[in-house]
Amino acid sequence: MTTPSGIDGTSREVRIIGTGLIGTSIGLALRRTGLDPVLQDQSVTAMTLARDLGAGRLGPRLGHDEGSDGGAHPTPDVVVVATPPDITPSVVADALARWPEATVTDVASVKGVILDDLRRMGAPLARYVGSHPMAGRERSGAIAARPDLFEGRAWVVCPDDDADAGRVDVVERIARACGSVVTRLTPGEHDAAVAAVSHVPQVAASLVAARLEALSEQAVGLSGQGVRDVTRVAASDPGLWTQILSGNAASVRAVLTVLRDELDGVIGALHALEQGIDEDAPGARAVIARAIAGGNAGHARIPGKHGAAPTSYGVVSVVVGDRPGELARLLADIGEAEVNLEDLRLDHGLGLPFGVAEVSVLPASVSPLEEALLARGWQLHG
């Protein structure tokens, strides 16, 4: 086997336990480095599909003895546990006991509760290093896996004080081999951070999307890009997210409590305006303005392209016909204009055979791009 660059100077046997979206994507990513992971899952169908997709070799079904499938599998140097959060502690503990020389990591999106459970089990924590790749998709399962899922995305490594430094290094090398940028946090710091940037946004998206269920077809038909952006992750798996939110209950509750208090303030301000009593409740409009301005300030802190500091872009809106090849033609014309495209979003017209492509570019490139596109026959919007 080819020694994989980006992991270490010796070949590593990797066992991936759990062949859903994340586990299969890790297998696909590591295969590109020359590794050939052994795959395990409770479902023979799931791990066979992951094998057929190219994520690694079949191992025994999870919970069955090594060799029960008729094959002999090498002792792993690294075990990556990619199971649902509610069974992750027991799977990690079993791996630590089964392979006493292996480094074991998990990729669950909660860290503190898993570490606490392992401590209660008396697991050997020197060889355990929790981690969490900050990547995913709205779709689940091996069929949605991609080898580039982790490219350029943060992979948080969360060693406990008991973790051996060499084991931490191995897990960080695995993350980098998958194309990720490693960030190191304590388990508590991780859980507080993901509560704000991942878990509460999921709850908010779900609650907003749920308001659409009772609307008429005509009302839902008015949905624009704004509601699509806000509710993009609302199609996520309820079972998985119940586990995630349960595992990070304290941190999520803390963020939601502050959010509730601020929402109560907006509701109160709207009630005052509705009743026409702002004379008796001065400052209602200021409450609303501060809420929107606070959102501006928070949004401005979201990292920009390639994780760099946030950058303000100009937007050129172009009408694109709903015909094969139109978007490709637009992108080619932008390239011919020698303008670098920073971002692209499509907004489809309601019941109309065209959409609007919102092309984000550096502010200085807006006018040259508009002139170049008009010269090439494109219609600009707005």
**Domain stops at, among 299, 333, 348:** 299
pLDDT of residue 226 exceeding 90, the answer is: no
What is each CA distance from 21 to 75, 135, 241, 281, in whole angstroms? 24, 10, 15, 51
| Residue numbers of the domain that contains 229 | 193-299
Same domain, 198 and 173: no
Closest CA to 184 of 131, 228, 148, 235: 131
Give pLDDT, residue 2: 34
Same domain, 146 and 250: no
201 and 285 assigned to the same domain: yes
Statement: residue 264 has pLDDT above 60: yes
Amino acid 228: pLDDT? 85
130 lies in some domain: yes
Mark which of 299, 332, 361 sits at the end of a domain. Answer: 299
Number of domains in the chain: 3
**Roughly how many angstroms between the first and final C-alpha of the chain, as a whole number?**
57
Residue 328 has pLDDT above 70, yes or no: yes
Distance CA 14, CA 99 (A): 12
- The pLDDT of residue 70: 54
In a domain, 381, yes or no: no
Tell me whether residue 110 is in a domain.
yes
* In-domain check, residue 37: yes
Domain shared by 286 and 365, yes or no:
no
Judge whether 174 and 105 are in contact, CB under 8 Å.
Answer: yes
Q: Which one, of 64, 71, 72, 77, lies nearest residue 16 by Cα?
A: 77
Q: Residue type at 281?
A: A
Query: Are residues 321 and 243 part of one domain?
Result: no
**136 and 264 within one domain:** no
Instruction: With CA atoms as reference, report the closest residue to 96 among 71, 72, 115.
Output: 115
Q: Does residue 281 form part of some domain?
A: yes
Q: How deeply is 244 buried, as exposed, middle or buried, from its count of CB atoms within 10 A (0-12, 13-18, 19+)? A: buried
- Reply yes or no on whether the pLDDT at 225 is more than 80: no
Name the pTM for this structure: 0.78
pLDDT for the residue numbered 1: 30
| 290 within a domain of the structure (yes/no) | yes
For residue 368, give the CATH number of its domain: 3.30.70.260
Q: How far is CA 5 from the centre of its chain?
A: 25
Q: Which of 357, 353, 352, 345 is nearest to 381 (CA)?
A: 357
Domain assignment present for 370:
yes
Between 149 and 74, the higher pLDDT residue: 149
Asked if residue 146 and residue 273 are part of one domain, the reply reads no
In this structure, the answer to whether residues 351 and 284 fall within a common structural domain is no
Q: Does residue 125 contact residue 164 with C-beta atoms inside 8 Å?
A: no
Q: Which of 155, 185, 215 is the last residue of a domain?
A: 185
Contact predicate 271/278, CB 8 Å: no
d(CA 77, CA 370): 56
DSSP readout, 49-91? HHHHTTS-EE-PPTTS-TTTTS---PPPSEEEE-S-TTTHHHH
pLDDT at 33: 92
User: Which residues, in sequence order, are CB contacts of 132 under 8 Å at separation 6+?
Assistant: 107, 108, 109, 111, 155, 156, 158, 190, 194
**Is the model's pLDDT at 209 over the cut of 70?**
yes
Do 42 and 144 fall into the same domain? yes
Q: Specify the CATH number for the domain of residue 76.
A: 3.40.50.720
- What phi and psi, each to the nearest 5 degrees, are found at residue 16? -110, 120
**Is residue 286 domain-shared with residue 323, that is, in the same domain?**
no
Q: In this predicted model, what pLDDT tens digit does every residue of 279-324 receive, in sequence order?
A: 656 788 899 999 999 998 998 887 765 555 566 788 888 888 888 8
pLDDT tens digits for range 35-68: 999 999 999 999 999 999 999 999 988 877 676 5
Statement to judge: residues 229 and 321 lie in one domain: no
Report the C-alpha gap between 273 and 285 in whole angstroms: 8
Phi-psi region of 315 (alpha: psi -120 to 50; beta: other; left: phi over 0): beta
293 plus 359 within the same structural domain: no
Domain of residue 215, CATH code: 1.10.3660.10
- Asked whether residue 306 is domain-assigned, the answer is no
pLDDT band at 73 (very low <50, low <70, confident <90, very high): confident
Number of C-beta neighbours around residue 78 at 10 A: 24
